[in-house]
Amino acid sequence: MLHMYVRHARAFVAISSALAALLLVVSRVESLSSSASTPPDTREPCHISLHIHDPEGQPLTARVRVTPASWRERLRLSQIDDLRRVADGGELTLTVPPGSYRVFVSHGPEWSLAEFPVAATPNARNESAVELAREVSLAGWHGADLHVHTHSSRDAEAHGGVTTSDLHAEGVELAAITDHNHIGTLDGFDSVGGAEVTTWAPEIGHFNAFPLRELPRWSGTNPVALLKELTRDPRVFVQINHPRLDDHIAYFKLGGFDGTGFAQPDFHLNAQGLEVWNGYDLARPEHVFALLAEWRRWQARGQRITATGGSDSHGAPSHPPGYPRTYTRAANANQLASELRGGRAFVTNGPLLELSVNGRGPGDTVTSSDVQRVKIEMRVLAPSWMRVDTLELWADDKLAWSTAIPPAAPGSPLVYVTQLEVPAASARVIQAVAHGGSGLDRLLGRSGIEPLAFTNAVHLTNAALAKR
């Protein structure tokens, strides 16, 4: 990700500089045109102190975002971006100029979200006790970020990389530490050591591999040789990262993949996982849906490869870990690779999604001796501050069923359960998707991000299919 990250950083600096200049001009115009507009008094700073806990009164590490209360106030303060901090151990004191603010406190998408105004006045200390509670969960499922960069990645040096506190603040339970060509570790968090194998001379793409004991040759290799080297240890899970994200690091573009085959020699789809959703596409769902459609076609043709998602966070406050994340039934990080190899996973940036076909879940195979109808159950859960609009069922690469999800009662979490039946001979794979809605702008402080979750496939086999 190094070259892409540098380009993103340069673009961000350029945009920030232009916005800062615009804010300065607008604020000067306002100060000349209105006697009511006065520059902020920064000589007398204000303090906002937060004490965050769960319903049992236990301190809770959380993420805090402080934003000016209005665009007029943002202009007056000349504050380009929101103030984003982690309240490690539930305690945080911020120093801000006098002004009107809104404070957001969160602990990931399974928990409640607190939002409240603060009027910061000189020499005053605003004390707030904030309680957050878990609102939704799926028994046996645990959220993992499978693409995390710590300070050991060179392109994470500007922000210090992802820390243990960053992961705790987002409610992430497990993680794969995947620094560039370095076997990563993270003390104090349930994580597995791996690496993002970042190839060079020639560039053939980026690949996450974990658990990893030694690095493969990442220069002067090809996809066949690299995969062979990585899978000498049968415990290692290998996934192709961001296959269409950026030309020089996109495996599919480098290999000339047209959806069915590669134009370049030695490129293949024999990895165990595919990063269908990378955090740099968080606000570009059209990219995710396009790659998801490709993945469905391979599944329908018998190509088993687990769809995954990971944040690819390098520690930037505006790009936290956990979005998206992959849920598995792994009880600890050491079990992640085996669960992912089996396809027992779903990917989300917030909503929880469960699919059952005749009582079996993603990665499982449902066998029927004759043409019968299979029973399907789908569950969508979301916290009270999030709305999810649509639930879909896909059979092979075709949309088999869709419905609008009725909104939950105001102030209540969403719990939507539906059951239906489809002919067992109608498809080789069944997959569910929940998408659309609102709420993530409040959590992440970014616009254009809609709730999205998708499961891996449940596979169907029966006599009728065998005769096709």
Q: And the tokens for 312?
A: 């690819």
pLDDT over 50 at 29, yes or no: no
E strands present in 134-278: 142-148, 174-180, 191-198, 206-210, 237-240, 273-278
Domain shared by 157 and 272, yes or no = yes
Write down the pTM of the prediction: 0.90
Could you tell me the pLDDT band of residue 116, with boundaries at 50, 70 and 90? Answer: very high
Q: pLDDT for 132-171, tens place per residue?
A: 999 999 999 999 999 999 999 999 888 899 999 999 999 9
Domain shared by 342 and 193, yes or no = yes
DSSP classification of residue 377: E
Domain shared by 63 and 150, yes or no = no
Domain shared by 188 and 239, yes or no = yes
pLDDT over 90 at 125, yes or no: no
Where does a domain end: 348, 375, 405?
348
- To the nearest whole number, what is the mean pLDDT of the chain? 90
Least confident of 32-36, 40-44, 94-98, 423-427: 32-36
pLDDT of residue 10: 40
Residue 368 vs residue 96, higher pLDDT: 96
Query: What is the residue range of 11's domain?
Result: 1-39
Query: Distance between CA atoms of 8 and 4, rounded to whole angstroms?
Result: 6
Residue 146 vs residue 373, higher pLDDT: 146
The average pLDDT across 179-201 equals 96
Domain shared by 355 and 330, yes or no = no
* Sign of the torsion formed by the C-alpha atoms of 422, 427, 429 and 431: negative
Could you tell me the pLDDT band of residue 316, with boundaries at 50, 70 and 90? Answer: very high
Domain shared by 125 and 148, yes or no = no
pLDDT over 70 at 385, yes or no: yes
pLDDT over 90 at 444, yes or no: yes
pLDDT of residue 462: 66
According to the per-residue pLDDT averaged within each range, which of 21-25, 384-388, 420-424 is highest?
Answer: 384-388
Residue 255 identity (one-letter amino acid): G
Q: Report the CATH number at residue 333.
A: 3.20.20.140
Considering the chain, what percentage of its residues have pLDDT values greater than 70? 88
pLDDT of residue 342: 97
The average pLDDT across 347-355 equals 98
pLDDT of residue 43: 54
pLDDT of residue 247: 79
Cα–Cα distances in angstroms (integers) from residue 227 to residues 106, 216, 234, 408, in the given order = 40, 9, 11, 46
Could you tell me the pLDDT band of residue 248, with boundaries at 50, 70 and 90? Answer: confident
Q: Report the CATH number at residue 84.
A: 2.60.40.10
Q: pLDDT for 39-58, tens place per residue?
A: 545 457 899 999 999 999 99
pLDDT over 50 at 25, yes or no: no
DSSP 245-272: SSGGG-HHHHHT--SS--SSTT--S-SS
Query: Distance between CA atoms of 205 and 248, rounded to whole angstroms?
Result: 7
Where does a domain end: 299, 318, 348?
348
Collapse the DSSP code of 101 into the 3-class scheme (helix H, G, I; strand E, B; otherwise coil) and give the result.
Answer: strand
Domain shared by 124 and 142, yes or no = no
The average pLDDT across 268-283 equals 96
Domain shared by 283 and 414, yes or no = no
Which residues on neighbouring strands pair with residue 136, listed in sequence order? Answer: none
Domain shared by 344 and 401, yes or no = no
pLDDT over 50 at 102, yes or no: yes
Domain shared by 172 and 234, yes or no = yes
pLDDT of residue 370: 52
Could you tell me the pLDDT band of residue 369, with boundaries at 50, 70 and 90? Answer: low
Domain shared by 341 and 363, yes or no = no
pLDDT of residue 120: 93
pLDDT over 80 at 13, yes or no: no
pLDDT of residue 367: 84
Our count of domains for the chain comes to: 4
pLDDT of residue 44: 79
pLDDT of residue 325: 98
Query: Distance between CA atoms of 102 and 73, rounded to whole angstroms?
Result: 11
Least confident of 11-15, 44-48, 227-231, 342-346: 11-15
pLDDT of residue 372: 72
Where does a domain end: 289, 319, 348?
348
pLDDT over 60 at 265, yes or no: yes
pLDDT over 50 at 30, yes or no: no
The average pLDDT across 281-306 equals 95
pLDDT over 70 at 410, yes or no: yes
Query: Distance between CA atoms of 130 and 54, rounded to whole angstroms?
Result: 8
Domain shared by 12 and 81, yes or no = no
